Chain A
Amino acid sequence: MTNNYAISVMAEDRVGIIHAVSQKISELGGDIADLSQTVLSGYFTMILLTTLPETVSKDQLIAKLKEADAQLGVELDISIKMLDVLPTKQNAASAQHAYVLTARGKDRIGFVAAVTGFCAKRGINILDLDTRAVDGTYMMLLLVDLNDIDLNTTQTALKTFSAENTMSVTLQHHDVFQATQEVSMPL
């Protein structure tokens, strides 16, 4: 029998973190089902799903992973959650309903909250999000799922939203970015 875990790891970024963590898991006989990592302004974060033998307790798992600290010379901030079943749901919207929302405006407190608030209020699920700040301008790029959401109404609401919040906001089907940026996209 096996147990399923979701493990998240945060630390100041350095070479070897993913190797150290995955090595410890494999030493415990764990199988990694899915993993995603990103580095945000030099800060590392990773989430992974793994299946471990029932004989390995949660405390043993934590202790094993913490061994990596000394090896890496950095303290890993680890959080572990046991799951009944491994999630298998795909988080990508079907190509038909994937849109890209961009918002550009003066960098200020509440920017992200405002844009994500717009989405949350209208039941728009955010699948992927990236932000950047350049010369006092803040930019958000969101991949959103517009399945079962009326495009017309959303576009109209976005116009009001962008005027009220003095942001420049666009909402465009994902295909247009693939068409203009990727040779392989069949039209």
Chain B
Amino acid sequence: MIRSEKILDTVSMIQDENLDVRTVTMGIDLLDCRSDDIDRTCANIKTKIHRYAGKLVETCEEISQKYGIPVVNKRISITPIAHVGASFGEAEFIKLAHALDEAAKEVSVDFVGGFSAKVENGMSDADKALIRAIPQALNETDRVCGSINVGTTREGINMDAIVEVGPMIKGLAERSADSGGFGAAKFVVFTNQPINNPFMAGAIHGIGQHEVLINVGVSGPGVIHRALQRKLNENNEKSPGLHDLADEIKRAAFRVTRCGELIGRRVAETLNVPFGVVDLSLAPTPRVGDSVGEIIRILGVDSIGAPGSTAIVALLNDAVKKGGAFASQSVGGLSGAFIPVCEDKALADAVADNSLVLEKLEAITSVCSVGLDMIAIPGATDAATISAIIADEMVIGMINNKTTAVRVIPVPGKAAGEFVSFGGLFGESVVMPVRNTGKSARFVAFGGKIPAPIHSLRN
């Protein structure tokens, strides 16, 4: 038997420190559902999702019960729908969204991700139709999430697409004005979007993968927070250096990741499908004690966003990856510390007291995954400014060879400082001010492409 201290250690990670598996996401290839008839395509999609994911939720719950680790979300990611619906127009893409929504409800998953397109170099007719369909499609459905990849390090940034995405995000928010613009929370724009990310809203089952597989996203900010607290409370003669704290994070991340790997592999085994990756992201929830912001504070800044915050997140992000990489056979997805403002109570509080501002968040995203995530901004923010915010964030990803993303919610009718709540895991926050609005229209109007950086020429 394992030593009792170790058993109690694991039990307390789950009982007291909010350790869970944040998501088990089944990736399903839908390319063979294509047909020239929209109704047949929709029927094919529903049949296929039902065939593979019919037992997903039930299996996750069985495994969760066996190991005593909650699996918070069960989700599906699909082949980016622009590939599946090529040749269809806007109206047909909206029908596809409804088919996905119905399929998701039938198999009781929380979300299905992949109402998506890859347009880093240019937009096909299908991509254009999809982008036009997104505001209506995501607002008429409950469980469908969408994403657009507008850039890669190898190809550069498609500014023509970004020009369209700014107004699209405003449209998404305005159509869901009665829920604070929540529609925009189901959409994210990427550079270097991973093809196997299990987290929403950007989950897709990209081209070049198995027919079906299981990916897992772990949680664990609470575990890391408590491990750091214990380390700092030790009565050693010499107080720990940052390298000691980084080591502590590594060890905690190892344990967290092993839980995810164990659950994911057992679910995959039971369903007899291949296991894909563990995403090593630290995903916070609005619960107290499950926050990345609290980790930033315990690592030495009194307010999140104060100088030092970027360095702390860099250290945290790297240590999480180092611990996690050793714990898992195959790591993928986004893999880094998330800083989704609304979904993290400590971050949301820092916005409320003005210590965390958009520019600092942007700086932090250059050293962590994923980007400007779940940020409520004033509904009056002009579309060109939103496009320009996206462009800034996308080049951070392009130049640094990493994934970056933007998921901002221009809350209709609300100004900076007002409060908005999205409920559940999506959390709440005050609306963050956006400075210098209305000053980027000329830049955005150029359109075209931001060329790939010199270091994209690697062959």
Q: Which residues of A contact B (CB under 8 A)?
A: 100, 102, 127-128, 130, 132, 139, 141, 143, 151-152, 155, 168, 170-183, 185, 187
Contact = CB atoms under 8 A, between A and B. Distances in A.
Contacts of B68: 170-173, 176
Contacts of B7: 100, 102, 141, 177
B67 A141 contact: no
Among A102, A132, A185: residue with most chain B CB under 10 A: A102
B170 interface: no
A122 to B, nearest CB: 16
Contacts of B380: none
Residue with the greatest number of chain A CB neighbours at <10 A, chosen from B7, B66, B67, B69: B7
B245 interface: no
B258 A179 contact: yes
A151 B276 CA distance: 28
Interface of B: 1-2, 4, 6-11, 13-15, 65-69, 255, 258-259, 261-262, 265, 326, 329
Given A128-B1, A141-B4, A187-B265, A180 B15 contact: no
B8 A152 contact: no
A182 B68 CA distance: 18
Contacts of B13: 180
Nearest to B66: A173
Given A151-B65, A176-B67, A176-B68, A181 B4 contact: no
A172 B67 contact: yes
Given A170-B15, A170-B68, A175 B262 contact: yes
A136 B270 CA distance: 42
A174 B1 CA distance: 9
B193 to A, nearest CB: 28
B102 to A, nearest CB: 30
B262 A176 contact: yes
B329 to A, nearest CB: 7
14 contacts: A127-B1, A128-B1, A141-B4, A141-B8, A151-B65, A170-B15, A170-B68, A172-B11, A176-B10, A176-B67, A176-B69, A178-B2, A180-B9, A181-B255
Given A170-B15, A180-B13, 4 more contacts: A141-B8, A176-B67, A180-B255, A187-B258
A181 B262 contact: no
Nearest to B67: A176
A130 B7 CA distance: 11
Contacts of A170: 11, 14-15, 68
A152 B58 CA distance: 13
A151 B63 CA distance: 11
Given A177-B7, A179-B259, A187-B258, A168 B2 contact: no
A171 to B, nearest CB: 7
A170 B67 CA distance: 10
A179 B65 contact: no
Point out which of B8, B13, B261 has the most chain A C-beta atoms below 10 A from its C-beta.
Answer: B8
Given A151-B65, A170-B68, A175-B262, A181 B10 contact: yes
B6 A181 contact: yes
B262 A187 contact: yes
B362 to A, nearest CB: 36
A143 B65 CA distance: 17
A180 B258 contact: yes
B69 A102 contact: no
Contacts of A130: 1, 4
A170 to B, nearest CB: 6
Contact of A143 (B1, B8, B67, B69): B1
Contacts of A180: 9-10, 13, 255, 258-259
Given A171-B68, A172-B67, A179-B258, A102 B9 contact: no
